[in-house]
Amino acid sequence: MPDELLGEILLWSTERPAWQRDALRRICSPSQLSPNDIEEVVELCKAARGLTEAKTARPLTEEHLAIKGTGSNPVILVSVTHDHGVNALAPNQTLSFGPNVTVVYGQNTAGKSGYTRILKRACRSRFTEEILGDVLSGVAPLRAQATIRYREGAGEHAFVCHPNGNPSSTLTVFPFTSAIRRTSHFGHSASISSTSCQPRVVKSVANLSGSTPNLTR
């Protein structure tokens, strides 16, 4: 079902203006939409109306959505190896997964969140977090890189994950979520709304369009 909805978004996007297709690519990327992204999208919109020099848009494509292929082989996570550059994680360390349930635990700053950020980048996740290097190491941090191994059918494969790279089209079968318990500061009861990924994409485009009302009419 998720792939079908993402496919509909991709098909719908082909009928949108170039600046909106570029905006969709940015919204569906692992990184959060930044003020610089909004500025560049506005420039694309202005260029389409002859208000600035011509600019080339990069439209949303299937690879940005990490739509799983039609293969029916089961996909199983084997391990995630931190090669280098992710937070303060020790390099060349591997977290292996068992055949059923794997429990990862440890004290604060042990590295649990670092491996979580890696998996959220490589798999499908509603929210991703920026992956920073070890800013306290005293040297320039290396470019973040991790290797995720998985089995698909009878074969074992590796996916190299980078912070600004696209999710794996195979690992997208794992809709990765993480739960964070926080104390409510709103009293004894609080209402929390949640929107699934696909409607959120369309809503984000609408919000972006509303932020540039003079250019979208």
pLDDT tens digits for range 109-158: 888 989 988 888 888 665 667 788 887 778 888 889 999 999 988 899 99
Give the range of the structural domain holding residue 55, as residue numbers without chain letter: 2-67+195-210
Q: Looking at residue 84, what is its pLDDT? A: 92
Domain total of the chain: 2
Q: Are residues 168 and 199 in the same domain?
A: no
Taking residues 54-66, report their average pLDDT.
Answer: 82
Q: What would you measure as the largest C-alpha separation in the chain, in angstroms?
A: 58
Q: Are residues 84 and 58 in the same domain?
A: no
Q: Looking at residue 97, what is its pLDDT? A: 92
More reliable by pLDDT, 69 or 11: 11
150 occurs within a structural domain: yes
The predicted-structure confidence for 171-186, as pLDDT tens digits, reads as follows: 877 766 655 444 444 4
189 occurs within a structural domain: no
Rg (CA), the chain: 20
Cβ–Cβ under 8 Å, residues 28 and 64 = yes
Q: What's the pLDDT band for 169 if we cut at 50, 70, 90?
A: confident
Can you spell out the DSSP letters for 148-175?
A: EEEEETTEEEEEEE-TTSPPPTTGGGSE
Look up the CATH number of the domain holding residue 159.
3.40.50.300
Eight-class DSSP state of 10: H
